[in-house]
Amino acid sequence: MRPVFTVTIQSSGRRFPVAPGETVLEAAQRAGIALPYSCRAGVCGSCKATLLGGHCAYPRNPPVALSGTSPAQHAILLCQAVPTGDLLIEAREVTSVEDIARRQLDVVVARKWMLAPDVIGLHLRPAAGQPRLQWLPGQYLDVLLDEGRRRPFSIANHPQADGSIELHVRHVAGGGFTSWVHDTLKEGDALRIEGPLGTFVPREDSERPMIFMAGGTGFAPVKAIVEHFLALGTRRPMRVYWGARSAADLYLRELAAGWARTAHDLVFHAVISDPEEAAASGLRMGLVHEAVLEDQPDLSGYDVYMSGPPAMIDAGRKLFTDAGLPEGRLYYDSFDYAPDVLAQILAGRAGIVGL
């Protein structure tokens, strides 16, 4: 019989067992301990932790997010690391999500509308007899498909009294599910979901000013967190940056501009990467993370939340910490392919480049 190993978190002293073949993240979740994660495929780096003792292997997916990391940093990816012995780690715990049960439920499409030419908005409500989903702003859910497939989507609103859930679904060329959502799904149709998932949630134990940076539909969880702080009546300054290729991609720009008009101390920046599109719209041109640094070259006094495509997240992680932001005050959610699609892509890469 293969042994069961123990993982110890140095800062809190909490310990949990890991079954044979189980990842550190899976074991922690089974033990009711919330460690940070997002993509669950080894790509985004949200679950990066420091290995202080012991060894682990990566039998599932290659740890892509560790590329460029020095071995001297002893970094591991909790979502992919399978212990080969007892481990001592240093990892950030997200205790605010630990008491929220993850579960499956049936929902009905209460509303479907166009947010942009390639983005659909959905309002989901619990089906008759189903309890409301409990979640924290910024978390996501999985839409459950056949053959065990899942498609993750960030929840774009904070919890509502009627249990309604807002999703922003971008049509991905060649994406079977998103094509079905755009072309076939209709109001009144049923879906099965599982959630909540993720640890991209508000940190309320701080009085520091906040910067929010979103790319594309990464605006969805940022919207949920900003609206949460607004509902709380926060007096903390907030700076919201939303980057996209064109003005049409900033599909709720007027909503964000409305925050700036009514909130205590909130400034909204729309940033367009395409020079011609920026000139035509009169909006700020450039990359969104560069706009943040142009305005705030010293980030040492901020909390930063960012959500969007992996390239934006990777750039922000490096440049923002270089600008003085402590890594422990950088919270992010990386939008990428669903885990099963990622696994196919990574398997293809392994065959081509020998990863």
Tell me the fold of 103-197: Elongation Factor Tu (Ef-tu); domain 3 (2.40.30)
* pLDDT score at 352: 39
Which residue, chain included where needed, has tokens 């993509």? 39
* pLDDT score at 351: 43
Average of per-residue pLDDT values in the chain: 91
Q: Where are the domains of the chain?
A: 5-93, 103-197, 210-334
In this predicted structure, which of 20-24, 121-125, 265-269, 346-350 has the lowest mean pLDDT? 346-350
* pLDDT score at 353: 35
- What does DSSP say about strands 140-144 and 190-197: parallel, antiparallel, or unpaired? antiparallel
* pLDDT score at 338: 52
Does position 354 have pLDDT exceeding 90, yes or no?
A: no
**Rounded CA gap, 80 and 22, in Å?**
9
DSSP per-residue letters across 29-72: HHTT-----SSSSSSS-TTEEEEEE--EE--SS--GGGTT--GG
Q: Could you read off the pLDDT of 130-182 as tens digits, one per residue?
A: 999 999 999 999 999 998 999 999 999 999 989 999 999 999 877 789 999 99
Q: Could you read off the pLDDT of 304-339 as tens digits, one per residue?
A: 999 999 889 989 999 999 999 998 999 998 765 555
Does position 345 have pLDDT exceeding 50, yes or no?
A: no
* pLDDT score at 43: 81
CATH 3.40.50.80 for domain 210-334, yes or no, is yes
CATH 3.10.20.30 for domain 5-93, yes or no, is yes
